[in-house]
């Protein structure tokens, strides 16, 4: 069993999501679509769900079509409460 000192030094794991950038809306803001599959409670069939999120992109390095990793953060505006961590996969241009 880990000691109390070791438990406090472990990083807190946040719930991350991976989504695709669908548009760039203004300075340091991107719109990301997160696709998920959930099991229907009664029928058991898997249903596709889509969530559109406004995400803070401090470096303005994400382009439309990129796959990005996002984490929740404090509320930054009326609709923006997610922050981009990194670009997982860049879109191929050309």
**Tell me, what's the pLDDT at 68?**
96
**Tell me, what's the pLDDT at 8?**
56
**Tell me, what's the pLDDT at 92?**
86
In the chain, where the domains are located: 14-89
Q: Which fold has domain 14-89?
A: OB fold (Dihydrolipoamide Acetyltransferase, E2P) (2.40.50)
**Tell me, what's the pLDDT at 89?**
94
CA-CA distance, 43 to 33, in Å (whole number)?
26
**Tell me, what's the pLDDT at 12?**
54
**Tell me, what's the pLDDT at 10?**
52
For residue 34, the number of C-alpha atoms closer than 13 Å in the C-beta half-sphere is 17
- Which ranges of the chain have pLDDT less than 70? 1-14, 94
């Amino acid at each position: 069993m880990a000691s109390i000192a070791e438990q406090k030094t472990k990083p807190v794991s946040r719930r991350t999501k991976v989504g695709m950038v669908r548009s760039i809306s203004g300075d340091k803001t991107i719109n990301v679509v997160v696709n998920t599959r959930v099991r229907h409670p009664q029928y058991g069939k898997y249903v596709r769900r889509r969530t559109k999120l406004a995400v803070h992109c401090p470096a303005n390095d994400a382009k439309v079509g990129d796959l990005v990793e996002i984490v929740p953060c404090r509320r930054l505006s009326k609709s923006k409460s997610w922050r981009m961590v990194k670009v997982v996969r860049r879109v191929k241009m050309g």
